[in-house]
Structures are given as structure tokens and as C-alpha cells.
Amino acid sequence: MASEQTLCLIKPDAVKAGNIGHIITLIENNDFTIRKLKMLEMNREIAEKFYSVHKGKHFYENLVEFMTSGPIVAIVLDRDNAIAGFRELAGSTDSWKAAEGTIRHLYGTDNQENAVHGSDSPESFEYEHGVIFESCNCH
């Protein structure tokens, strides 16, 4: 299988809890190569653009507020089958249902404060990468 890229965001809850290093270690121990990495704070405009696919859903406003509540770490990962592989490593969106040993099982606390985000398709990776690494002048 050909190498592909995916985006991982380490969310504000995991950054605040001091879990950046633990999460990156898990990522590297699962044969991902880090191609880009930056720490930033999303402003409301960027968070709304990043999560525009969820606009109008009941959790949208809380998600935008949460993602702008503190620093995040954005990482472009590379390996064979990176999108599916990272989503498997991340675990279920609901941290309580995430398999043992997954990032969300280890470091998430619920359905929203679940430590990481991962792209769900090549198209979403391209869009998300553009928002975070090309159009974001976040600080």
C-alpha cells in the first residue's frame, strides 16, 4: 500500500493535562512519521472553518468553544494506510467506549474532550491541512 498522510490534532484537554509527549510517543511507536508539527491556539474563525462540516449540529457550538479554549498541537503524520491506522490508534470518539490502549482510552475523558482529532478521509485531510497549515495565522 502507498504511503498516505493524515492530520492529528492534540486537543486542548490533552495539552492542558500534559499528555503531548505521551501521545507523540504512541504515534511514533505505531510507525507513523511526523512530517509537520506546530502548536497553536485556534481562534473562533479558524475553529468554525475547521469544523464547518458540523455546523448546525447540536454539539457544534460546544465543540468550537472547546477547541478555542487553549493551545492545540497539529501534526501531519505519514505511513501506509495513515488515515485508517491513526483512527484505529485514536480509538472510539467516545473515550468511555475506546478500546484499551488507544489514545482516547488512555487520555480522553468523554465524547468531546477525547484528546485527539484525526482526519477521516483523504479529502478531509486536504481540507483540514489547508485550514491549519496554509490559511491559519493562529498564534
Average pLDDT over residues 7-15: 98
Residue 13 has pLDDT above 80, yes or no: yes
Residues near 115 by Cβ (< 8 Å), separated by ≥ 6? 10, 11, 13, 14, 19, 23, 90, 95, 103, 104, 106, 107, 108
What pTM, to 2 d.p., does this model score?
0.94
- Angstrom CA distances, 88 to 2, 19, 61, 82, 93, stand at 18, 19, 27, 10, 11
Q: Could you please state the CATH topology (level 3) that the domain comprising 3-134 is classified under.
A: Alpha-Beta Plaits (3.30.70)
How far apart are the two ends of the chain, measured CA to CA in Å?
Answer: 37
Helix (H) or strand (E) holding 66: helix 60-67
Considering the candidates 22, 58, 105, 117, report the single residue annotated as catalytic.
117
Q: Residue 68: its pLDDT value, please?
A: 97
pLDDT tens for residues 39-80?
999 999 999 999 999 999 999 999 999 999 999 999 999 999
Catalytic annotation on 129? Answer: no
